[in-house]
Amino acid sequence: MQTSQMSSARPYRLEDWQGGNQALKEEFDYPITEIDGEIPVGLQGTLFRNIPAMLDVNGQEVHHPFDADGMIGKITLANQQAYFQNRYVRTPGYCEEQAQGKITYRGVFGTEKSGGWWDNAFDLRLKNVANTNVYYWGGKLLALWEASHPFRLDPETLATLGPETLDGAIAEGTPFAAHPLIEPGQNGRGPRYVTFGIQTFGVITKLRIYELNAAAQVVKHHDHWLPGFAFMHDFTITPHYCIFFQNPVSLNPLPYLLGRRGPAECMTFQKQEQTKIWLISRHDPQQVQKVETPSGFVFHHANAFEDGGEVVIDSVAYRDFPSINHQLSFKEVDFDEVPASQLWRYRINLKTGVVNRQQLENRACDFPYVNPARLGQQHRWIYLAATRQPTGNAPNQAILKINPDTQAQQVWSAAPTDFVGEPVFVARPGAKREDDGWLLVVVYDADRDRSKLVILAARDLEAGPVATLYLKHHLPYGLHGSFTPEVWLTPTAPAGAAHHAV
C-alpha cells in the first residue's frame, strides 16, 4: 500500500489511476510464471482483450483514449498454466502514423493533427482504430470498431491479416458494431452472431441488423430508417426482438467541419426529450414498435428477456450525457464532475407501449456481463465493474454481482490502489447453476505499475481471488473482450521477450 494519505471520501488517488493511462508500445510474448493461488483445472481457453493502447504517437497524446489505436491482449489458459501475448492491429492508419512518427488523422473524440484548426478543418477522414472489442467466431478472430469494418487477425500470432468483409457481405468502411451478441442456439437453430451497424445523416439514421451463422456467414440482414440523429454503441436481443435505445442527443457538425472538435464532442444531450426504444422483430423485419421513456443515456445493456406480454431490459444508464471537455486532458478527469452510470431495469408492456423503469442499484457501475448461456433469456445474476464506495462517482475498483429481482449482491474490492476492467464470465464445465463459473478480470496494480489477471469464483466473490496472474508490465485500461474455449499455443519465447510496435 502506498504511504501517502487517501482522502476519507475517496478510496483512490488520481495519480494511481493515471498510471493505467500510459501507452504500452512494446509487444510481448511469454509464459506467465508469477501466480498466486492455482488456476482452476476446468478453466481452459483464451481470453482476448481489446485495448486502446497507443495513447501517444511520438509524444503527441491523443485527446481521448477512445481515439487510440487498438492492441489485442491474449491470455491463454491451458493445463493450469498461462501464456501472454499482445500485438497492435496493423490498420493502414496505424501503420501510416507509426511510419511518420506523428498523428496524421483526427479522432472521433477530439484528437487533432498538429497545426491548429486550419490544418484540421474539412479533413473528414476517419482512421479505423480497431480498438473496442475482439471476438473469435466461425474460425475468424475479429478486431472491432463500430464506425467501420472489422480487421481479421491470426488467433495464434495475433498478426493482422487484413480487412474482413465476411465474403463480401460488408464493404470496407461499412459500420459494423463492436457489441455482437452470441445467441446460444435458440429459435430451433444453431448459435447466431447478431450485430448491427448505423450510419447517421443528421435528420435520419440508417440501421442495419446482421445475423451470422456458426461459419461466420451473413444469413440475414435488414435495414431500418430511424428519424433523427442516433448514437448507439450497444443493443440487446430476445428470441423475437432486436432492441435499440435511441438516446436523446443531437449533433451540430459545424465545429467538426471547422477543425475545432471531434464528432463525439459535437453531440448535445436533449434532457427535455424522451429516449426512444425500438423493438424490431427478428422474424418479420417489417414489424417495428417504438416506445418512449424519460431521458437518459445508455451505453451498455446487460441482457433482455420476454416475460409474457412484456419485454424486460437491464441496462447501465446515465441520467445525463457524459460529455467530453475539449480543454482537458483525459488524464485530468474530475470524477466528482462526471455523471455516474447506474443499473436500471426497463419493463415494456408490448400491448400498451407503457415503459416502467426502476433503478436497481445506486452504486456507479458499467461493463455489465451475464452468463452467456442466459443471453435473451431470464437471468438471475449480473456482473459489473463498479466503484468501491456505494455512492458517488470514481474509477472502477470493485466487481459487483447483483440479482436484479431481489437486489441481493456481493462485492469484491480491489481498492485502494488497484483498478478493474470488464468482468468476463466463464462457466465451469458441466455447470448446473447460472453462477457456477469464474470471472476473469484484468486489473491495473498501481503499486507495482503492472497489470494482472484476477480469477474470481462467480458464486462467492467475497472469498477473494482463486488465482492472480501477474504480468511483467502494465496494460492500459481496455474496453471489451471475450473468452473462447479454443487454445492456441506458440513456441515459448524467452521470458519477457518484447519488441517495439512499429
Which pLDDT tens digit goes with each residue over 83-120?
999 999 999 999 999 999 999 999 999 999 988 899 99
* C-alpha distances in Å from residue 457, one per residue of 109, 275, 383, 401, 452: 37, 37, 12, 11, 16
Contact between 115 and 98 (Cβ < 8 Å) = no
Percent of the chain with pLDDT over 90: 87
| pLDDT-derived band at 502, boundaries 50, 70, 90 | low
The pLDDT of residue 390 is 94
- Looking at residues 333-345, what average pLDDT do you find? 92
Helix (H) or strand (E) holding 105: none
The helix, strand and coil proportions of the chain, stated in percent and rounded to the nearest 5, come to 10, 40, 50
Question: What's the predicted TM-score (pTM) here?
Answer: 0.95
Model confidence over 186-235: pLDDT tens digits? 667 789 999 999 999 889 999 999 999 999 999 999 999 999 999 999 99
| pLDDT-derived band at 185, boundaries 50, 70, 90 | confident
Residue 178 pLDDT exceeds 70? yes
- Looking at residues 292-313, what average pLDDT do you find? 96
> Rounded to whole angstroms, how far apart are CA atoms 300 and 425?
16
> Rounded to whole angstroms, how far apart are CA atoms 205 and 228?
6
* pLDDT, averaged across the chain: 94
Q: DSSP letter string over 255-283?
A: HHHTTSS-GGGGEEE-TTSPEEEEEEESS
Residue 349 pLDDT exceeds 90? yes
The pLDDT of residue 190 is 87
- Reduced to 3 states (helix: H, G, I; strand: E, B; else coil), residue 69 is strand
| Residues in the chain, total | 502
Q: DSSP letter string over 187-224?
A: TTSS-EEEEEEEEE-SSEEEEEEEEE-TTS-EEEEEEE
Grid coordinates belonging to 121: 478543418
* C-alpha distances in Å from residue 322, one per residue of 172, 337, 360, 424, 476: 30, 10, 20, 25, 21
Residue 9 pLDDT exceeds 70? no
Residue 160 pLDDT exceeds 80? yes
The pLDDT of residue 10 is 79
The pLDDT of residue 491 is 53
Model confidence over 111-157: pLDDT tens digits? 999 888 999 999 999 999 999 999 999 999 999 999 999 999 999 99
Number of H helices, E strands in the chain: 4, 36
| pLDDT-derived band at 3, boundaries 50, 70, 90 | very low
- Looking at residues 320-331, what average pLDDT do you find? 79
